[in-house]
Structure 1
């Protein structure tokens, strides 16, 4: 059996597919991950022993710009991604049993699967893009809904129209080239009626939350047994546990001077700081011996050893922090990040910073909540309840589905 796993997005979109690929390999199946040709992702998949096929442009070239991408840039990127999926997947999936697609609106993946008559699964890492009567759609480039519109069914219909404007012309053009009829609603076609939710049910409960029949597997985690390097071990051992601060790939969105603000907020609590450079390009604000810079790191090994975790609220970082049992402070910036911030606060495992641009005082106040004994106890308790078998569950469903297909033939 062979499966093709496709995504275009940040590390939080790529690493879960690496985890799923490893789980499939453990069941005796083959798996290829189609992902953006960024060096970080190539190294990640090579470390996991997973074959990679490059898909689309580099993500870093898009998200690491000084300013957030414009609406015009989104309308230019969408058809490029559609074309890349038809080209890459068309070449890679010829002998595959199924395609699993994730990441930024993977228009083009199901079309290739349908043409070849193989199974297609859409997987998401949060509920934000799935139509629901419980919440409104998030922001998307295109014509906005009229000011004052509150009917969620109307708002979700407008969301579908924005997706059509972004992806529809290119998608239907490529479909015509391979003999497929046009799609009326790109979003609904991509999502299917049974999307998979690769998120922990404690952090992201799905029952009754969407209009679709969601299959929740749990988060897809990639095991990481890399040791921490000697210099970091020495810093950790030289005093009380520090506070970790990282904003992942948020180069264009990270608050101005966030490193300086975070260091001062941590010092207000007498805490040392571990600063993660990331694509956000954070840097030490001074040469204080109470600060240490890290690059790409094994979060599974590091997070249980810090006092608190300050981050942007990506699905992967939120899950890793929750699993570690360490309190967190989420400073949400875009997309699904406000949702994860709200869940962290609601569960009592950390604090949600209300504004995207913290001050020293506001971040210190949020850290005070995270460092309280009550939050520490709740974070430790919840950490022991986070599921860790999501990738194995998903891999089992894929293999079982492929076996059923063989039996029917």
Structure 2
């Protein structure tokens, strides 16, 4: 091979400056694969093993082995968009099924095949509302519980345009219809809220909220996630025009990144939806086929006329999410969501019996997570729990937030006992 490419030595293939090139002996003895694996396992065994009860937008759900097995097939391993439908039918069908899953759970007419994450999906919802606006409003109205990172992305999307972001107050951690009504005026273009909220509270007034927003002819955008949507009120039935959120809770570990957002909307906005759409059609032989359709993205038309300038997509992540959801099926997905309501209620009830703990801090129905007020300094509680092998989130000086799913269910009794000891 060296002769074929005209090289005299393997070193000719590398151009590493002498100043930074290591030219000594590595001092590492050769070892078999088994010996290397055992050494790595011993090293990993020195790490502390903690059980996390964190949440706050990133949730741990058990990932069936079938997700890795199928998604790691060589046919699916690509970071590129499926521009050639004639050689991408399998992947395009998976993305079509992902879109179908999202539309069914959100109650919307159409969904794209992924966004980067929930934050960018919210930003794109604001720009879509700007493009389809029927009124003169330019204000994006958001609740005061909106996470800082999502607010930062939304501010970035609206900066430099005539859009502005304004907060409205919530009561007891949720949106109350009359409070929202007082915050609405002719300047409001889009109202955004989340169900469940960042504190795990299930919104109880969505139907009234939908009616109030419709009265002033503003658009309503609801943020959620695929597991919650399988059990909670369908956004489409309460008057939502756009639904955004997080899908990566299915098929992805909570490991520092790699998320996926969902974006769905009414059919009226079909030609303004950001991201990519996979459509079903027929080929010359009459067989069902799949292809990218309505490609109003920046690669295909002039930048200033594109609906979105997000270039890449999360296709492979959408594949993993679709596999996980289809493996669970409708009944399995609903059963998972049901556990996400029962387990927090169980843990909150047990913690509330501990002197110095009030849980949940807000009297409402919760999904996955809840707040607990503690009489001790919250930072001390968090630190002492960490030393016992449990990780929770500190909200403020007297409040912690706790997330419970099926992945930490087996440690509930130990966790409650640890809190009891810390509070003594």
Please, what TM-score do these two structures have when normalized by structure 2?
0.29
Greater Rg over alpha carbons, structure? 2
Greater percentage in strand = 2
TM-score (norm 1): 0.30
Question: Which of structures 1 and 2 has the larger relative contact order (alpha carbons within 8 angstroms, sep 6+)?
Answer: 2
